[in-house]
Amino acid sequence: MRGREYFAKFRMVIKGGSKIVSFAPRWLRLLLFNAFRYKNGYSGLLMRYILFDGLVKSCGDNVAIHQGCYFDNLQNIIVGNNVAFNQMCFVQGSGSLTIGNDVRFAHGVTIETESHGYSDLHICIADQPMIYNPVFIEDDVWVGAKATILSGICIGRGAVIGANAVVTKNVEQMTVVVGVPAKEIKCRKVIK
């Protein structure tokens, strides 16, 4: 059985667990979420989902967060249905992040929603203000292993981001991009 079938079968129990846990103080839920970061198996997936559901702005059904993923500023993250974060993803939400339905992140993906300012030559870069820009990832997107998505990016529906790509510009829907910086190599065709 696939994850979505398991989730559908036990949805009431899982969502009930999320509701109960949501009554705990936020600091405790964050502490527990981080404590379960490396718990393997279905119990780890379940605990991370239950805690994640109450920490983000909005969370859909069947969101799989595998071992070793790190999330920052969860309160600014919206995640749709059937989304998978494979091992060791780094997800930064301070500039706001919206992820659609049926999105897959391979292991080691980085999503940044902030960057350092560096325009004032009279101030050390470390002392310049942070720049926050939202990231939007539409439905049915696959992000390959160790790809990096920089702040202010929109990835269109059905796009594929190749492994190790660094996305510095918006990605049109149904396109495949690879490289550093990521460039379009082909368009996915719709077969009727």
Q: Judge residue 143's burial from the number of C-beta atoms within 10 Å of its C-beta, 0-12 exposed, 13-18 middle, 19 or more buried.
A: buried
Closest to 81 in 3D by CA, of 8, 154, 156, 171: 8
How far, in Å, CA of 109 to CA of 24, rounded?
30
End-to-end C-alpha distance for the chain, whole angstroms: 28
Hey, which residues are catalytic here?
A: 116
Contacts of 103 (CB under 8 A, 6+ apart): 80, 82, 83, 84, 137, 139, 140, 141, 142, 143
